[in-house]
Structure formats: C-alpha cells, structure tokens
Amino acid sequence: MGKINIANLKKTAYYLRRNGLKRTLDAVRERFDGSVQPPYTYVPPTRQELAGQREKAEQEGFTVSFSIVVPTYRTPERYLREMIGSVCAQSYPNWELIIADATEGGEVREVVESLCRQEDRIRYIRLPGNGGIPANTNAGILQAGKAYTGLLDHDDLLEGNALYEMAAVIEGAKRDGRQLQMLYSDEDKCDGDGRAYFEPNFKEDFNLDLLLTNNYICHFMVMETGLIKELLLRGEYNGAQDFDLVLRAADRLFGREEYIAHIPKVLYHWRCHSLSTAENPQSKLYAYEAGRRAVQDFLDRRKWRARVFDTSHLGFYAVKYEDNPLKIRQDLGAVGGRLLHKGKTVSGRLSETGDIFYEGLSVNYSGYLHRAVLAQDAEALDIRNLEVAPSWRESFERIVGVPYATLPGSEVFDASTLPEGTDYIALSLRVCRELRRQGLRLLYLPERSLEV
C-alpha cells in the first residue's frame, strides 16, 4: 500500500497537472490497491548468517576485491557515519572505501579521518573544488585499486551481505569461465532514520528494452574496474549520470549479456529525507530530461531509427521507432502485445514456463513499478498477438504446422488459422524457445493490444 505523506501528496498534485483527473484517480486507486502493491517487510541477515558468509568466503578461497566510491559534499555527520558504518560492517572483507570529498570546509574530512584511524581500508581524497557529482565521482573511480568498483551515494546504506553476495556470484561465474563485467542487486528505500524500509525494487534479470524505458538497474551496481574507468561518468548527463553509465556498458556488452548478472536480493537502502530525490523526485526534473537524452544516445549509437519520449510517469520513457522495429533491429525475432478481455490483461508476455505476466491487471493500471505499460524483452510471447520477423517465418510455419497468415491490415499472425483445441500457451513456448535459441530477442509492446 502507498504511504500517505507530504512527498506523495506533492507527487500526486504534480501528476494531476501533467495527466489530468481520470489518470490521476486511476493512479491513486492503484497505489492503494494491495493486490498491485503488496505489503513489504525487509528482514536483514542475522549476525550468524553474516559470520557464516565470512567463513565460507575464506574456506572457498574467494579472491575478488571491491572498491566502493562515494562522492561527498556537505554530508550531514550522522548520514556520513552511518553510510561508512554500513561499509565497515560488510561480511566480506576484501574492500576499500574511497571518499572523494568536495566540501569547502573540513567537517567531512574530520569525520572520515577519525574513522580512518580505526579502519585502514578507508581512503579520503580531498577534491580541489566541487565539480558536480559526475566529476567528483570520476575522481574517486580513477583511484580505485580493486577488481570491481561500486558506487554508493553519500547518504545511503549497504546491507551487511552486499559485497559477499556480489563476490559469491563473481566467483561462481569464474568457475564457469566467465569474467562478469557488471552486477546489480535489488534495492528498497528507507526513512531518514534508516529503520523503516519500503517501496522495494525487485528487479528483472538483464532486460535491455526495459532498461531503455527506465534505469531499473540503479543500486547496488558494481562494474569491472577496467570497464568503469574506461567509461567514467559524463557531466553532460548530470542527474542521470549513473543511467548513462549503465546504458553505455550495455552497449559495450551488447550480445554478450551473459557477462551481466542480477542478484535478486535487497542489498541497498536508498535513504529518503527532505533533500533526497528518493523523497521528492520533482526536485530534479532536469535529471529526467538527461535520462531521456541518455536513452536517445544509446539508440543513436546502435543506429536504431527511433525517438525517445516521456510517459505519464516521471523518469519512465517510451521508444518510438520510425518503422516496424523488426525492420530496424536485427536482434529481434518477434514482437508481441497484450491480450485483453473485459478491460483486463489475460495474456501477452509469458515466462519460460508459461506463467502470464500482469494477468488480471486492469487496463487503467500500470502495474508494479509501471512495468505493465513499458516495453520490455520477454522470455515468450503469446502466439495470438505475435508478429514474427519475415526472415524467420518459414521456420515458424514448420513449428506451428500452418502458413503464416496475417490479421487484416497488419503483419500479426492470425491465430484463428490454428486447429481447434490448440494449446496456445504450449505452442507459444515452443516457437519462442526456438527464436531465443537462435539468439534473437522477443520484444513485448503492451500498446499492441488485441481483444479476445
């Protein structure tokens, strides 16, 4: 259920001005609908669990190391101490904390240097001036001396098992012959006291087209240090510098997504207080404009003829292609949409086992973190609203056993030509499994709706 507070009332008022009364009423109803936004309780790892992680890492000979970079500027002492304390409390010991400080006075330096006397893994860098978050962060990144580098905001908190979970996945991939380049975890928000947790972001495994609609990766993210030093943050994308970084990494790793890993555990707490963008996203509207430009930059580098537009939700974007995306993108094997019945989603995007995403969701709702209305890659798509790339239609016909007839005025397959009694879900999985086996992506576009 949504929280009633001043920040959310401000968000609602802003949404009303942008989108009108009907959409706002729908958004408010959805926010307080427990079936869409289920209750959340965060349970941190116990001391025994953290001790077990230290022991396991030592027994199994983990060697991976981490640099954590934090740009600071006038950070309140309490938040600074708590942030540093969350790093020092890590169950995995092979890390360094680099604090790049642009504060004019000495208040941050005094706190950090007092802690450095107790913990030699903390490194303090005094910057000559405040160059902004991208430049300040880059100064810290360039000093990173460990194998992987993670970014931590100066008033946020890492959970005690964050680096262990990252290390365990990296070491496991190494045993499989893969040197992971980027990893990210789930996250949530916490109150100013760092005690109450809410609004979890349970993320998908790497999903390129979802990433093009919003920075769902965000925190906690670590990147191979050589890669992040090569890319660095770009000042012209100030406010969305992390998003731009991730998009450029995704471009660099395009077609090699096996080098990107998602850890489905909440490892990062984004603190909400009166000055934070987590609490008041309208305070940095320029960041959403920068995010839109970062997505456009990705599309331009890929030479995909498309433009990026804002949606009704702040920080979420829509990519509009100049032509059918199957004609523009060689990585796509099929495009599909949702199936509707009496104003609710009944099928569309499917899991590998045939579960239906967003099943039963009203067409007036946007779903968890608005994902139901965003473009995204799919494991499978329902054959009843599916358009297959022309180069693959002959193979499609061999699998389904009928010619690729189309619905009037479109290139969508006409599923009415299938034999009576066809198991649509099972056949969809067969078709899509073969497309993915060929290394092709399946693009789900919810706006391509079809009534059944």
Q: Which of 112, 115, 117 is nearest to 101 (CA)?
A: 112
Phi and psi at residue 245, to the nearest 5°: -60, -45
Please check whether residue 277 is in contact with residue 271, taking contact to mean a CB–CB distance below 8 angstroms.
Answer: no
Tokens of 398: 């061999």
pLDDT tens track for 39-52: 899 999 999 999 99
- Least confident stretch, 12-16, 107-111, 197-201, 374-378: 12-16
Tokens of 452: 């059944």
Percentages helix, strand, coil for the chain, rounded to the nearest 5?
Answer: 40, 20, 40
Chosen domain end from 282, 311, 334: 282
State whether 67 and 166 are in the same domain.
yes
Task: Output the domain CATH number for residue 70.
Answer: 3.90.550.10
Query: What number of helices (H) and strands (E) belong to the chain?
Result: 14, 20
Please check whether residue 39 is in contact with residue 110, taking contact to mean a CB–CB distance below 8 angstroms.
Answer: no
The pLDDT value recorded for residue 46 is 96
> Does 220 sit behind a cis peptide bond, omega within 30 degrees of 0 on the bond before it?
yes
The pLDDT value recorded for residue 274 is 58
430-434 long-range contacts, CB within 8 A, separation 24+? 430/399, 431/334, 431/383, 431/386, 431/388, 431/396, 431/399, 431/400, 432/334, 432/350, 432/378, 432/379, 432/380, 432/381, 433/352, 433/380, 434/395, 434/399
- Kind plus residue range of the DSSP H or E element containing 209: helix 208-211
Q: Determine the average pLDDT of the residues in 336-350.
A: 97
42 in any annotated domain = no
DSSP code of residue 127: -
Check pLDDT > 60 for residue 281.
no
Residue 276 three-state SS: coil
390 in any annotated domain = yes
pLDDT tens track for 219-277: 999 999 999 999 999 999 999 999 999 999 999 999 999 999 999 999 999 998 655 55
Residue 91 three-state SS: coil
The pLDDT value recorded for residue 321 is 98
State whether 258 and 145 are in the same domain.
yes
The pLDDT value recorded for residue 38 is 72
State whether 336 and 440 are in the same domain.
yes
Check pLDDT > 80 for residue 396.
yes
| Residue 34 burial by Cβ neighbours in a 10 Å radius (0-12, 13-18, 19+) | exposed
For residues 410, 416, 418 and 419, what is the CA-based torsion angle, rounded to 10 degrees? -170
Euclidean distance between CA atoms 45 and 389, whole angstroms: 47
19 in any annotated domain = no
CA 61 to chain centre: 31
State whether 82 and 222 are in the same domain.
yes
pLDDT band of residue 18 (cuts 50, 70, 90) is low
Q: Determine the average pLDDT of the residues in 184-199.
A: 92
Chosen domain end from 254, 282, 310: 282
State whether 263 and 347 are in the same domain.
no
State whether 134 and 203 are in the same domain.
yes
State whether 335 and 384 are in the same domain.
yes
Phi and psi at residue 284, to the nearest 5°: -135, 60
Radius of gyration of the chain (CA): 23
The pLDDT value recorded for residue 193 is 85
- What is the percentage of the chain residues whose pLDDT exceeds 70? 89
**Stated pTM of the model:** 0.91
Euclidean distance between CA atoms 26 and 361, whole angstroms: 12
State whether 406 and 266 are in the same domain.
no
244 in any annotated domain = yes
Check pLDDT > 90 for residue 20.
no
State whether 251 and 353 are in the same domain.
no
State whether 88 and 236 are in the same domain.
yes
pLDDT tens track for 64-121: 999 999 999 999 999 999 999 999 999 999 999 999 999 999 999 999 999 999 999 9
The pLDDT value recorded for residue 21 is 65
Check pLDDT > 70 for residue 30.
no
340 in any annotated domain = yes
302 in any annotated domain = no
pLDDT tens track for 126-152: 999 999 999 999 999 999 999 999 999
pLDDT band of residue 1 (cuts 50, 70, 90) is very low
The pLDDT value recorded for residue 39 is 84
How many alpha carbons lie under 13 Å from residue 408 in its C-beta half-sphere?
0
Check pLDDT > 70 for residue 283.
no
- What is the percentage of the chain residues whose pLDDT exceeds 90? 86
Which residue type sits at 338?
Answer: R
State whether 77 and 169 are in the same domain.
yes
Euclidean distance between CA atoms 390 and 375, whole angstroms: 21
Please check whether residue 450 is in contact with residue 385, taking contact to mean a CB–CB distance below 8 angstroms.
Answer: yes
Q: How many domains does the chain have?
A: 2
State whether 382 and 263 are in the same domain.
no
Residue in the block written with tokens 């965003």: 374
Please check whether residue 239 is in contact with residue 300, taking contact to mean a CB–CB distance below 8 angstroms.
Answer: no
Q: Which of 265, 226, 266, 232 is nearest to 246 (CA)?
A: 232
168 in any annotated domain = yes
Phi and psi at residue 283, to the nearest 5°: -70, -15
Chosen domain end from 261, 282, 303: 282
Phi and psi at residue 32, to the nearest 5°: -100, 10
- Least confident stretch, 10-24, 161-175, 311-325, 379-393: 10-24
173 in any annotated domain = yes
Q: Which domain holds residue 265?
A: 47-282
